[in-house]
């Protein structure tokens, strides 16, 4: 059938100049590898992995322009020219006034949390993120989830499941007083909800509310351009705006940011903290030298800052986002055709499989998502990640959190894999789905104190 003019297919807006050969393994090798890894895909060696969908963090393919920029890196300890290029890119595309580079996102979270949170203050946010919450807690803060209820339901088709529920925020403010709120963390394309965006309308309402109460909005802008793509596609009045314009509009409505540039900004390492507040900046400029490095490199090489400046520009390109999210949707639709239960609507950086619906015979204490990620690896060498009870960890009293979402994340790195890889991934998930009734749960045999999902070990029940 001849396609309709308006529905023409997307294609990657690049071609390949160099390739990395993949490794293949047989089932016996994978069984040995996953057992040795304690059924934790983070503990596998990448040499034992075929298609790596563990994360989209630092795993993107850089462009020829980014690699060329590497050669321009100014490695001066102080006042590096590369820093000023990065600062100029952040000013131009995001608009925040002051910038502190950090080695990655959590470096920025650490510094920002130490400066902006007083012991016992609440930090409301549109769902928790693992590293963000741990830094908030280490700084004495108490995280409060103020995302809309729809975000906790994998089947709810709300187009903006990343939205803040202003009533939940208002209740918190009324109960404790605005002075007990450190700031609101607003994540774009909420990771733990399945890569779900907030709407501009919701952000505008949040902005108005916080101005009245004197509360700052700190933007976790790790996936801001992906959020902007969904606003462009779904929100009335935005179809004619570019992603660059929408990203800028989002940033203009927030007071500061933390960024893991390893995602949207297409680099293998890097991040930053940004603020419009000169007092916060002054403190951050001082604190960064304790944890990261001088304020003009923050733990990065000059070449990393060069590549980040170029990556920021490439991330706001409309064709790039259309193909990037087009590929995620392609995988999601394929998996849905096989009947696999996934979080809907399909989000921005991966497909999130609903492990409780996939393995209804397992209780959450038997770690269904962890067990399913191990089974997928065993089937095909495709590496995915648990985003459920293991990732959620424990509260200050040592009790397990029981998140409503128990998910396996098939995360797609940017510009790395082809549609054929996605076909192989979907087929593997379908074959595991066929024999789902025979999949057993796990028990945890080793649990680290912080961010346990990275290093915990398990045994088959």
* Binding stretches for ligand PM9 (CB under 6 A): 55, 57, 104-106, 129-132, 187, 191, 220, 222, 260, 262, 271
Phi, psi at 241, each rounded to 5°: -90, 150
The least distance separating ligand PM9 from the CB of residue 307, rounded to whole angstroms, comes to 15
DSSP line for 143-195? EEE-B-GGGG-TT---TTTT-B-HHHHHHHHHHH-GGGB--EEEESSBTTTTS
Least distance to ligand PM9 from the beta carbon of 308, Å? 12
If you count them, how many residues does the chain have? 461
Give the whole-angstrom CA distance, residue 349 versus residue 354: 16
3-class SS at 90? helix
Residue nearest to ligand PM9 (CB): 105
Give least dist CB 143 to ligand PM9, A.
Answer: 13
C-beta closer to ligand PM9: residue 58 or 140: 58
Of 16, 11, 21, the closest CA to residue 63 belongs to: 16
**CA 80, CA 90: separation in Å to the nearest integer?**
16
Q: Which helix (H) or strand (E) segment is 117 a member of?
A: none
Pick 106 or 344: Cβ nearer ligand PM9: 106
Q: How far is the CB of 300 from ligand PM9 (least distance, A)?
A: 12
Quick one: 300 or 342, whose CB is closer to ligand PM9? Answer: 300
Structure tokens at 147: 């995302």
Q: Within 13 Å of residue 81, how many CA atoms lie on the same side as its CB?
A: 6
* Alpha-carbon distance values, 428 to 104, 111, 165, 419 (Å): 33, 42, 38, 14
Kindly state the smallest distance separating residue 109's Cβ from ligand PM9, in Å: 7
Nearest CB to ligand PM9, comparing residues 191 and 380: 191
Structure tokens at 56: 């989209």
Q: Pick the closer one to ligand PM9 by CB: 225 or 439.
A: 225
Instruction: Tell the smallest beta-carbon distance from residue 254 to ligand PM9 (Å).
Output: 15
Minimum CB distance to ligand PM9 smaller for 55 or for 428: 55
Look at residue 392 and give its three-state secondary structure.
Answer: helix
Which of residues 271 and 347 has its CB atom nearest to ligand PM9 in the complex? 271
Q: Please state, in angstroms and rounded to a whole number, the distance separating the CA atoms of residues 87 and 76.
A: 16
Q: Could you tell me which residues come within 8 angstroms of residue 205 by beta carbon, excluding any fewer than 6 positions away?
A: 166
Residue 123 Cβ, how far from ligand PM9 at the closest point, in Å?
14
Element (H, E) at 272: strand 271-275
Which residues are known to be catalytic?
77, 129-130, 220, 263, 387, 453
Task: Identify which of 152, 145, 148, 105 has the alpha carbon closest to the alpha carbon of residue 125.
Answer: 145
CA angle 295, 71, 266 (to 5 degrees): 70
């Amino acid at each position: 059938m001849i396609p309709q003019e308006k529905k023409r297919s997307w294609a990657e807006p690049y071609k390949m100049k160099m390739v990395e050969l993949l490794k293949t393994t047989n089932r016996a090798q994978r069984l040995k590898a996953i057992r040795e890894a304690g059924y934790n895909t983070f503990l596998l060696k990448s040499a034992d992995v075929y298609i790596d969908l563990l994360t989209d963090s630092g795993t993107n393919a850089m462009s020829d322009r980014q690699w060329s920029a590497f050669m321009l890196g100014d490695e001066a300890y102080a006042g590096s020219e590369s820093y000023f290029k990065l600062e100029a890119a952040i000013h131009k595309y995001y608009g925040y006034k002051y910038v502190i580079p950090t080695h990655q996102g959590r470096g920025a979270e650490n510094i920002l949390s130490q400066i902006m949170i007083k012991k016992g203050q609440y930090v409301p946010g549109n769902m928790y993120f693992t590293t963000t919450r741990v830094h908030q807690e280490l700084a004495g803060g108490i995280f409060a989830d103020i995302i809309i209820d729809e975000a906790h339901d994998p089947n709810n088709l709300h187009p903006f499941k990343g939205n803040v529920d202003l009533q939940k925020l208002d209740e918190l403010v009324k109960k404790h007083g605005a002075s007990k709120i450190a700031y609101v963390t607003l994540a774009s394309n909420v990771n733990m909800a399945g890569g779900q965006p907030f709407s501009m309308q919701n952000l505008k309402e949040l902005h108005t509310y916080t101005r009245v109460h004197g509360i700052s909005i700190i933007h976790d802008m790790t996936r801001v351009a992906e959020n902007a793509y969904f606003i462009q596609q779904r929100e009335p009045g935005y179809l004619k705006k570019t992603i660059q314009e929408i990203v800028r509009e989002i940033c203009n409505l927030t007071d500061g940011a933390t960024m893991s540039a390893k995602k949207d900004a297409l680099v293998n390492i890097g991040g930053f903290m940004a603020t419009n507040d000169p007092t916060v900046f002054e403190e951050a400029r001082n604190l960064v030298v304790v944890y990261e490095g001088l304020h003009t490199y923050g733990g990065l090489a000059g070449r990393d800052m060069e590549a980040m400046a170029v990556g920021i520009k490439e991330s706001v390109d409309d064709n790039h986002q259309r193909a990037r999210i087009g590929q995620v949707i392609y995988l999601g639709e394929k998996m849905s055709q096989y009947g696999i239960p996934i979080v809907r609507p399909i989000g921005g950086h991966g497909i999130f499989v609903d492990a409780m619906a996939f393995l209804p015979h397992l209780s959450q204490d038997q770690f269904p998502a962890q067990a399913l990620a191990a089974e997928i690896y065993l089937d095909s060498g495709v590496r995915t990640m648990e985003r459920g009870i293991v990732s959620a960890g424990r509260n200050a009293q040592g009790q397990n959190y029981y998140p409503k979402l128990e998910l396996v994340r098939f995360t797609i790195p940017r510009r790395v894999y082809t549609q054929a890889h996605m076909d192989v991934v979907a087929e593997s998930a379908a074959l595991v789905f066929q024999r789902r009734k025979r999949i057993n749960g796990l028990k945890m045999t080793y649990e680290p104190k912080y961010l346990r999902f990275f290093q915990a070990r398990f045994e088959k029940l």
